[in-house]
Structure 1
Amino acid sequence: MKLASLIVIFYLVESLNADAQITLRLNNYTSNIKNFKDTTIEALKIVSFILSTEEFKESLSKFKFKCTNLHSSRRTECSELLGPQVYDSLNKFSDTTLDIIIKKLPLKESIFDPNDQIGKSSYGKFKVTTRSWYLNQTTKSWYASVKYAAHLAHEYCHIRGYYHINGQKYGEDVAQTVGKIVSKIIMRRLKANEPITHD
């Protein structure tokens, strides 16, 4: 067999073995935090990279979730919800653009919700709202992007149809579990001086 043919076969095999690539991009952006857009873009790059890694796939594959994590319209087709199924659903769409809104918690909500909701997003709606108090808790820009990446991973689960279950426990609640897995992988990689973005 000619060398050129062998090279083509090698790259085809490598591409099949490569991690699935998911890309979250910024569409519309509004924020009451000044000069935070670059940090948001960096956070999207981080979460895109981590969700595409084999490490994330293997970590999530260890879990089995209840079907009640799913949006009500999808529960009838569910008998069990395994980690690999969740992974496939998150990576089903390779390129996703998100509207990002960062704002203060309205006064009325802050009165009735003293815990201050961190953020929100909904199934099928490509918009993530994050409360600025959560992102203002750190003064280190690099940590803000890392912290925001884990939060965006959590919210991305809601966009793809995973809702919270009672208790929101790690290992039971899809969004909480994905957010924490992403956070753990990021911190492990940083400690090991491994990349957390494709750049």
Structure 2
Amino acid sequence: MPLTLPVISCSLDPASLSRGLAVQAAQILQNHGHNSEVIDLAEFELPIFDNNEIFSDPGFALLHRRIRESDGIVLAFPIYNWAPNAAVKSLIEATGATGDGRNTSAWFDKVVSFVCSAGLPHSYMATTSLAGSLMNDFKCVINPYSAYFSGRDWEEGKLSDDRTKRLTKTMHVHAELAALLSSRSYTSTWEV
């Protein structure tokens, strides 16, 4: 049964490598019969999260709905300064906001996979705090197969064959986890 597995490209860089990885990830999911589209944050003028005005932004409503209605989310983003870029954090802050009586997190119980690009291979652990936040706050299930690619993983503008296999495996595990958890007996809310 096809799943809805969007890939959110969180880079705002016009020459982004992670955007290309997002397209590749969505294509892998589509090739396996799933509904997958790339949602590119660069096409939105989403304001920085302020816990107020952002909720009136039409882009916020679209992003919130796409995340909420998905079976799982792939987040594709660059690693800057040993951490995920600010745009991915702002997206999660906005669409994960709860407690104001109007907005409920779109992230509860989602399967989440990371597809990252970085300059060097040294910051492969940079997703750890983001994964912990998604698990603790929203009870997300984090795919243990992160797809992390550095500048050394590209050959003539394309991801090397070996690293393409890793991206493919990451997307297979993402879809399998989402399928297995689609019939879960519980739903989460804001709880400690």
TM-score normalised by structure 1 residue count: 0.30
From the CA coordinates, give the structure whose radius of gyration is larger: 1
TM-score normalised by structure 2 residue count: 0.31
**Greater RCO (Cα-Cα under 8 Å, separation 6 or more):** 1
